Amino acid sequence: MNRPPQGNSAPFPPTIIDIEASGFGHGSYPIEVGFVLPDGRAWCSLICPEPDWQHWDAAAACVHGIAREQLSRHGRAPRVVCEALNDQLHGQTVYSDAWAHDYTWLGRLYDVADRTPSFRMENLRALLNEAEAARWHEVKQQVAARMGLARHRASADARVLQQTLVALRPDAAHQTAA
């Protein structure tokens, strides 16, 4: 039997956030953030790097497919991205599958913008029981294949994660929709 994901009054599926970055490790920074709300609406934005954000990992760029030049041309200022996130996620708990990385990158984004998140980010793993965690990667691959998303981008990744949770808990999704 599936337990409620976040208590009886929390929406299901929960809001999922994903962050793409310039790479991993020291000096990396967020380049795109996206989320999917419980009702399926999604939001995504490229982030214009600060002048001192110089780290760029070519291997990471091959995965997310975002060129540094795209960020300069189409990215929003960190302050603008933080304000949009705060406006749309205010008071919510949002979930990330790469919490340790995403928490660090979100912190870097908010620090440079001199803002504080109006929402809380938690580890998606906290929502899963042991049986769900054991099936997570298999179900995620099936969901991604079914959705046929060609690009590895923040809001698309967030949608795959959210739909994986729904696939693991069809009864919870049905009860929320009823």
- pLDDT per residue rounded down to tens, the chain (178 residues): 233 344 445 789 999 999 999 998 889 999 999 999 999 999 999 999 999 999 999 988 988 899 999 999 999 999 999 999 999 999 999 999 999 999 999 999 999 999 999 999 999 999 999 999 999 999 999 999 999 876 678 999 999 999 999 999 987 765 554 4
User: What residues does 11 pair with on adjacent strands?
Assistant: none
Tokens 């030049």 -> residue: 69
The three state secondary structure string of 57-121 is CHHHHHHHCCCHHHHHHHCECHHHHHHHHHHHHCCCEEEECCHHHHHHHHHHHHHHHCCCCCCEE
Taking the model in full, what pTM does it have? 0.89
User: Angle, to 10 degrees, between the axis of helix 99-113 and the axis of helix 78-89?
Assistant: 120
